[in-house]
Structure 1
Amino acid sequence: MLRLALFFLIISIIAGLFGFGGISSAAAGMAKILFFIAIVICVVLFVLVLIGVGAASGR
C-alpha cells in the first residue's frame, strides 16, 4: 500500500512539473489517503501484536 502511495506521489510531482494541476492534486489526494490507510493498518497490527493476538501466541 505504501508503494502505491509513493507511486501516486511521484505521479503528482511529475504532473505538477508539467503544469497539470488537476491531475497533480488528484494524485496527491490519493497518495495522502493511501498513506493514512497504511498508517492505520500498521497501528492496528502493532496493537494486536502487543496484546498477543495471533498465531505465535499459541492460543
Structure 2
Amino acid sequence: MNIVFPGGTGLLGAAVAKHWTEAGHQVMVVVRHRTKKRPGTLRSRGVREVGKNQALA
C-alpha cells in the first residue's frame, strides 16, 4: 500500500513513516517549497546569493 505524508510533519511524521516503512509499505513524503509565498526564507536567500555569484563570475 502506498502512503503519502505531507511535508513538514516533523518528528511525529518521521516516526510514523519509519513505522510504515518497516511494516513493508511504500511511504512517500510530499514536500512543497514556499519560496514564492515567503520570499524571506533561507532557501530563497541562498538561491539569490548563488545567482549573484554566478553573475559576478
Q: After TM superposition, is the score higher than 0.5?
A: no
Structure with higher helix content: 1
Structure with higher strand content: 2
Structure-2-length-normalised TM-score: 0.34
